Amino acid sequence: SVGVDKTPAAADADADATTSTTANGAEGNHKGNKRSKTTDDGAQKRQQKQGGGRRHHQGQDPSLKFVRNPQGAPIVQAARRYFATKAFDVPPHVTNTNTNTTTTSSKQKFRVYLDETEGWRTVCKLAVRRDPSNHDQVIIGLFQPQSHEIVSVPDCRAHHPSINAAVKCLTTICNKVGVVPYDEKTGAGYLRYVALTVERGSGKIQLTLVWNSAPYHEGENTSDDHDDDVGKIMLEKLIREIRRAASCGVDGDGKRKRRRGRKKKGEGDDGGDDDNDGNNSNRSEPTKTESTPAAPQFRLHSLWVHYNSTWRHSNAIFDVAAPASSWRHVCGPEYVEETLCLSGQSSPIALRFPPNVFRQANIDAFTGIVSAIRSRLERYNKERDRGDNSDDEDGNTGTSSPSASCLELYGGVGTIGLNVADLVSSLTSSDENPNNAACFLG
């Protein structure tokens, strides 16, 4: 996202850049510029150590590419080139208070506003692939730019700490359950991607498993397709383990705390279905002992499954054309609720984000952009009122006209529109995603 003077234009940040911008800040003031090269080298060494020095772990985390110089990111350079050819509507007027003179500049200077470069990303979609060095293990991470070579990012500096904790936990769980990751060459495998969204107030994770299958039938395993039965059993085991890791207490020595009382028949550790999935003959995982280390915990907000069996050459993470049945809500609230801290707003607007709608990856910085839009609308309304209340040529005093109307294109869940609704006479929000409509209903 980039800003020009006090009227910033929002743009979705490049996935390979850690640039984040706000409408407040000094030009060229980058908190990360003072970081030494040793810091970046240390992050790479930690990645290599965690991966045992394997080739796929040695690749640099793509989010580190521009961490020392965010203004060198491609999205920023493209914005500079674009605005260099444009003339702005209102040239800045500079007043010299000593001489009481006003000069007009012929061209405004393009400004980039920089914010935090670590821990800012609260939304991400990560690929799940087989470990090239150990085909029995999975990797959850990012692709290198312009390639599908995966890089494990358990400690990504751009990601919110809750995302990093969840990635570590999911990797452990997938390897324990024996999840078969997606294979882009053959189209086989099950777990394609994981999508993670942070609820900023609590740090909890809204987790979506993107599963390479059509939706399974509820109930017993009655499918004639053996692969469907295998995939369904694997998915249910994965869901159980995620819910256990996110809800059960873990002692300091890694042992799970015992539950008081006897377990009811048919009740799993998460209070849900029994481990046998209704079919004891399909149970293949070994019995967990008290000394088995538990997966590292993370805080789960909600769990979803998105069934996406699109063609193997498709790069789409979510199948936007799929019917509603392709989304399965497993547990937790149906949406993450967020509010923006905006001055001058009588009461915060609750924004609702289910996993199948767009949310800004850096919502903290985007708050600054919305704040700048509100300031511009407030100034516009005041200027309009002054003009309407002035006397006309016949000496008649005008009356105040209604505030401006707002037409919001690509409106999403109303992140901008709903937060300026108190400053406009009407709001029309448009977006092609049918899942957005429910987010406007109170």
Per-residue pLDDT of the chain (442 residues; tens, 9 = 90+): 333 332 333 333 333 333 333 323 323 333 333 333 444 445 444 444 444 334 444 467 888 888 888 888 898 999 888 888 876 544 455 445 555 555 555 566 678 888 888 999 999 999 999 988 888 899 999 998 888 889 999 999 999 999 999 999 999 999 999 999 999 889 999 999 999 999 999 999 999 999 999 999 876 555 556 667 899 999 999 999 999 998 643 333 334 444 444 444 434 344 334 443 433 333 344 444 444 455 568 999 999 999 999 877 778 899 887 889 999 999 999 999 999 999 888 889 999 999 999 999 999 999 999 999 999 999 998 888 877 665 555 555 555 555 788 999 999 999 999 999 999 999 999 999 999 999 988 6
Say if CB 71 and CB 30 are below 8 A apart: yes
Q: What is the pLDDT of residue 62?
A: 82
Give the pairing type, strands 426-429 and 405-408.
parallel
Q: What is the pLDDT of residue 291?
A: 46
**Strand-pair partners of 151:** 142
Q: What is the pLDDT of residue 383?
A: 86
Say if CB 101 and CB 88 are below 8 A apart: no
Q: What is the pLDDT of residue 84?
A: 82
CA 271 from centroid of its chain's CA atoms:
29
How many other CB atoms are there within 10 angstroms of residue 317's CB atom?
Answer: 18
139 vs 154: CA distance, rounded Å: 10
